[in-house]
Amino acid sequence: MNEIRKKIVAANWKMNTTVTQGEKLVEDILLHLPGELNCTVIIAPPFTHLPMLVKKVEGTKICSAAQNCHQDKSGAFTGEISVDMLSDLGVNYVIIGHSERRQLFHEDNEIIKLKLDAVLAAGLLPIFCCGEPLDIRESETQNIFVHQQLEESLFHLHKDDFAKVCIAYEPIWAIGTGVTASPEQAQEMHMFIRDKIAIRYNKFVSETTRILYGGSIKADNAKTLFSQDDVDGGLVGGASLNSAGFLDIIRAACG
């Protein structure tokens, strides 16, 4: 257990569950949550579930997150949700730059940078996703690729704002594919990211920043991934939709 960085386990439900199903899932998780929880648990359901979630987790150790937001404060953006709407609900975190947003909704590093600024300006906490596609991994240029994501969307932040950011490294080839990065591959990239943070900011900032791994985390691979020196927990998609499996992942992070 790293003394400086408490682990985080974040559930990304993506576009799954109705509010009724989501409510049942939260209830099941709360019912079996370890009493001595020495890690942070975050749930990011669809937008429609957030009022229910915020209410359900009030006074518990679970935090709430949105999966996305718009970068502008308000206006004619049909179908979008602003950071003020989220903060008004009492949401804690916002996931920014998930690879599905980048690939399917064409969000580039510049838009993600604006979203990040909007999240911080609203007093919310960003979970910033980065990670390379398969062809980049195959050409062994993943470090250059991820470094560019950090430079173009994240490293403009002042040190005090950067300290509020949690990073999630999610290699795209491992998301929803059942192929997990090996613990060594995850550790190597996390150490690389931490080194870049130390160069851009300083050693203290780099050692206190939480870097989560994401991509096909399951109960049976979570412990080995989380035991890597620079892996501070995980962003869990598919396996977070089952309460028993997700609770096992929480136990792997907290144990």
- Residues lying near ligand PGA in the complex (CB under 6 A): 12, 170, 175-176, 214-217, 235-239
Distance between CA atoms of residues 64 and 71, nearest Å: 19
**Contact of 99 with 170, CB cutoff 8 Å:** yes
| Paired tokens of 63 | 């935090």
Q: Which CB atom, from 123 or from 176, has the smaller least distance to ligand PGA?
A: 176
Q: Which is nearer to ligand PGA, 86 or 219 (CB)?
A: 219
98 is catalytic: yes
Nearest to ligand PGA of 120, 236 (CB atom): 236
CB of 22 within 8 A of CB of 13? yes
From 100, 107, 132, 170, active-site residue: 170
Given the residues 70, 98, 132, 190, select the one marked as catalytic: 98
For residue 65, report the phi and psi dihedrals to the nearest 5 degrees.
-145, 150
Q: CA-to-CA distance for 24 and 26, rounded, in angstroms?
A: 6
Cα distance between residue 200 and residue 18, in whole Å = 42
The tokens for 129 are 């996703």
CB of 94 to ligand PGA, least distance (A): 14
User: Which residue sits closest to ligand PGA, CB atoms considered?
Assistant: 237
Quote the least distance from Cβ 236 to ligand PGA, whole Å: 5
CB of 175 to ligand PGA, least distance (A): 4
Active site residues: 98, 170
